[in-house]
Amino acid sequence: MRVAGEVGLAEECVQDAYVAALRAWARDGIPANPAAWLTTTARRKALDALRRAETLRARRRLLAEPEAYEADVAVETVPDDRLSLVFTCCHPALAREAQVALTLRLICGVSTADIAKAFLVSETTMAARITRAKKKITAARIPYRVPAPEELPERLDAVLTVIHLLFTTGHTAPSGGRLVRSELVDRAADLARMLRELMPDEPEVRGLLALLLVNDARRATRTDADGRLVLLAEQDRSQWDSDAIEEGHRLVVEALRAGGVGRFVLQAAIAALHARAPTYADTDWPQMLVLYDALSAAWQSPVVALNRAVVLAMVDGPAAALAEVAALEHAGSLAGYHYLPAVKADLLRRLGRHSEAACAYRDAWETADNEAERAFLAARRAEAASRGACGPEEGAGD
Amino acid sequence: MAQYAVLIYERETPGGVADMPPEVMEAHRRVPERVRELGGRIVSAYATQPSATATSIRADVITDGPFIESKEALAGFFVIEADDLDQALAIGRVVPIMDGGVEVRPLIQE
């Protein structure tokens, strides 16, 4: 930044440094301090770039079929190197999770701690997985090479996962003071748009773009003027970006018509149903439950099961949902995931079981790392505790 | 150039090599030529006798049969030199496989 003098150029230089880094690392192995290596390389790149400002632009490269893009000025101006790097990093010789984690770390700059949160594992575990993947890259000499067009489909699912996790990490930051990290959200949306240009007929690509558009359409209303969290039920729907929601809805319809019933299309369908409902209470909850059942069938995930429980509460009442949440809690796969006690707390609150709700809010507060979410949970906890305090023994074994 | 072991796993036929269809045998004979075309080099190559001929030693106990029992048995291996894993995998793909697969392993080098 200091050398480049402006964010745009600095970003380009860092990006360029990543390209150089991956080439050099594939050749010589990963350096002991990759961050310092990148900074040094980026600074040198910035100096080069200032001397020959047009060079970087000229070096841009498209993944496939460059002639298809020439007419589209908008696409030419987006940093396509990053998408090709994502495809490059998602090499099938690496385990799927390693592909995604390594790409988020090296290409998208997400911290190991935040990646660990996304995968619901400890930071130590994730650091070990990333190290193992880097070792394999070096030992097996996995090359830096932009994949050929016919290689893209086998890497697509990992690429979709990378972009989605990049988005969710920005949409609700796993740690820190702000709820939203706009730069990550915007970068994910850019990547999704580029991917749509590259693979326009893939239903899951449409689904992912739709999911990002619809969820991000609510960005302005998710916190109040003081940065405090505002729940979906209380958000000002008139302030949502209706163009983005309609674009997302159209993409979902197209994808469903094309036979897409993958996890991204279905998540986008759920998000669009929420976004197009006139009010929270008037949401089509039975339809929402049908979509969640389809999503659960397409994608075995305890997080999906937890979200389905929230919808079940709207259809069959909080008691039915609480039983599902208790089963998930018993299964243990969501240990450390603060949304589990948060959902449980809300269900208990609605059932009038205030002291148990206070305990669950405390559990959620203790595991959450985002300040906006913690403030919300603390307020809810205080409110529940005023109607029935959480005794020390009650919470301890819960 | 880096060295890789290409391990060939196949479902075994009762008569071993004698049961292999002639076109598969012919494809095997063409492997060295295909490897050269792909820019790699074969350092050494071996085919093993059927796994029924294997004898295992585990903690000093000698037993009949392969060390690891599986549907597919190790049928042979060869060592190649290639630029990187992608080239090694391209070479691994030219090995004719009827009902199994190959495993590509980088070798430890000085």
Cβ–Cβ below 8 Å for B85 and A93: yes
Does the beta-carbon distance from A143 to B86 stay under 8 Å? yes
A:B CB pairs within 8 Å: 22
- For residue A393, being part of any structural domain is answered with no
Same domain, A180 and A255: no
Q: Are B97 and B8 in contact (CB under 8 A)?
A: yes
User: Is the pTM here over 0.90, yes or no?
Assistant: no
A295 and A321 together in one domain = no
- Do A107 and A173 share a domain, yes or no? yes
A89 touches chain B (CB under 8 A): no
Interface of B with A in 71-100 (CB under 8 A): 83-86, 88-89
Candidates A141, A151, A154: best to mutate against B (most CBs of B within 10 A) is A141
Name the strand (E) or helix (H) holding A47.
helix A34-51
In a domain, A331, yes or no: yes
Residue B1 at interface with chain A, using a CB cutoff of 8 Å: no
Are residues A103 and A193 both part of a single domain? yes
Same domain, A91 and A192: yes
H/E stretch holding A56 reads: helix A55-59
Q: How many structural domains are present in chain A?
A: 4
| Cβ neighbours of A27 in B, within 8 Å | none
Pair A159, A85 in one domain? yes
In a domain, A46, yes or no: yes
- Coil, strand, or helix at residue A291? helix
Chain A residue at shortest CA distance from B83 = A141
Which CATH number does the domain housing residue A357 bear? 1.25.40
Residues A291 and A325 in one domain: no
Please give the domain boundaries of chain B with CATH numbers for all domains: 2-106 (3.30.70.1060)
Query: Does any domain span residue A235?
Result: no
> Which residue reads 């029935």 in tokens?
A388
**Which DSSP category does B51 fall into?**
G
Together in a domain, A365 and A266: no
Whole-number CA gyration radius for chain B: 15
- Do A107 and A178 belong together in one domain? yes
Rg (CA), chain A: 22
Residues of B in contact with A26 (CB under 8 A): 84
CB-based contact (8 Å) between B25 and chain A? Answer: no
Is position A67 within any domain? no
A364 and A305 belong to one structural domain: yes
A172 lies in the same domain as A85: yes
| Å between A138 CA and nearest CA of chain B | 10
Give the pLDDT confidence score for residue A395 in this predicted structure: 44
Q: Is A141 close to B89, i.e. CB distance below 8 A? A: no
Task: Determine whether the interchain pair A141/B2 forms a contact, defined as Cβ–Cβ distance below 8 Å.
Answer: yes
* A80-89 vs A152-171: helix crossing angle, rounded to 10: 110
Residue A254 lies in a domain: yes
Helix, strand, or coil (residue A253): helix
For A359-390, write each residue's pLDDT tens digit: 999 999 999 988 999 999 999 999 999 998 88
Mean pLDDT of B12-17: 78
**Which H or E run contains B79?**
strand B72-82
Three-state DSSP at A305 gives: helix
> Are the beta carbons of A260 and A207 closer than 8 angstroms?
yes
Q: How many CB atoms lie within 10 A of CB B57?
A: 9
pLDDT at A397: 43
Segment B46-94, tens digit of pLDDT: 988 888 889 999 998 889 889 988 889 999 999 999 999 999 999 999 9
**Do residues A47 and A160 both lie within one domain?**
no
Contacts of residue A139 in chain B, CB cutoff 8 Å?
106
CA distances from A121 to A124, A126, A330, B44, B56 (A): 8, 7, 18, 43, 39
Q: How far is B43 from chain A (nearest CA, A)?
A: 17
Structure tokens at A108: 């998208």
Indicate the residue of A26, A141, A145 with minimum beta-carbon distance to B106: A141
- Is residue A278 assigned to a domain? yes
With a cut of 70, list the residues of chain A below it in pLDDT.
1-80, 392-398
Identify the domain containing residue A127 by its residue range.
78-142+149-199
Nearest CA in chain A to B109: A139
pLDDT value for B110 = 73
pLDDT at A26: 55
Q: What does the pLDDT read at residue A58?
A: 36
